[in-house]
Structures are given as structure tokens and as C-alpha cells.
Amino acid sequence: MTSTPKIIVLDDDPTGSQTVHSCLLLMRWDVETLRLGLRDPSPIFFVLTNTRSLTPEKALETTQEACQNLKQAIAQEQIRDFLVVSRSDSTLRGHYPVETDAIAAELGAFDALFLTPAFLKRVALPKTASITWSSTACPHPCMKLSLLRTRCLATAIATCPIMWKRKLTGGSSPVR
């Protein structure tokens, strides 16, 4: 007999949960609320931590608390087959790898880590490891876009892989 794993999505902002339906969106992560999510018949539920709006220190504290409570809820519900997903826009906005490191420290290493920038209002086209923004027939490198020249991304990093490597320098990988 094959069981379907329970998928638990820790979401750093409300945009991810706005794109799904027919599952719970939990706005709290106390043990009892998480147990409700684990008992729900849907194979997936979202936990909106809203950490993107927080400082890195507060995001770490919030993620640790959510994961510690989730660990207790999983044990109390005797869930053996589950997947934890970090749905985080923060890979481009400052908290990566704080959240994924915290999840890995509390719940175990990830089987896989996908860094997938997406600009849904326009087409994102990978081209020689650079992400480009294409609103016309002529794609533009992302780092030339004003929306990416923010205080958080003020340095002139030409490609996302270089940016992620810099963020990970000195840190450990949350991937097994």
C-alpha cells in the first residue's frame, strides 16, 4: 500500500497561497493549529509565516518556532510520510539561506533545493546562467531592471547563481 505524503508549505508571503485552492492556509503555527492542518484530508496545507516582512533575525526566530511546533505536531499526529517545502521569495530579497538553514536544522536536510526565480508578469528566460526579463522581442538582463536595483540588491551582481553563491559563502548547504 502506498501512502500519499502530507505536504507542508512554509510560505514567507501571501503570494504563494493566493495561487492555490482546496487546501488550508494557516495563519498561525502553534502546535494545535498545525495538528489541524495535518489532519485535514487535503494532501497539502500552507503555513503563512510572512517572514519576508521581517528582519533576518526575526525571520530566523519565526521559522525556528514554526518548525519546532511542526515537529511536535507531526509526532503527536504520528505522521511518518511528509514533505516540507519552503516557498520563499526571499532568495532574491535578503533572507536566503536563513530560512532554509533554519528548516534544515529543525527538521532535517532537504532532499533538493531549487532556486527558481520567476517574474510572472513577464517571461523569465534563462540564458547562459543569467536571468533575463522579456517584455518585448528584446530580453533585458535582470540586473538592469529598476525593480532589482533596490537597497537589498544594490551590488552589481550580473547573475542569480553568483548572488546565491555569495549569500552561501561561509554558510552550510541545507541540502543532504
Residue type, 29: W
Q: Quick check: 145 and 156 in contact, CB under 8 A?
A: no
For residue range 130-173, list pLDDT tens digits in order. Answer: 444 444 444 445 455 454 444 444 333 345 666 666 666 655 55
Region 6-28: mean pLDDT is 87
Q: Does the pLDDT value for residue 125 go beyond 60?
A: no
Does the pTM of the predicted model rise above 0.95? no
59-88 CB burial, b ≥16 within 10 A, e <16 = bbebbeebbebbeebbeebebeeeebbbbb
Q: Label the pairing between strands 130-134 and 140-141.
A: antiparallel
CA distance 30 to 149: 37
pLDDT band at 105 (very low <50, low <70, confident <90, very high): very high
For residue range 94-103, list pLDDT tens digits in order. Answer: 577 888 899 9
| Strands, sheet with 82-87, edge to edge from the N-terminal-most edge strand | 24-26, 44-48, 6-11, 82-87
CA distance 116 to 164: 11
CA distance 40 to 42: 6
pLDDT band at 82 (very low <50, low <70, confident <90, very high): very high
CA distance 57 to 71: 21
> What pLDDT score does 25 carry?
93
> What pLDDT score does 3 carry?
77
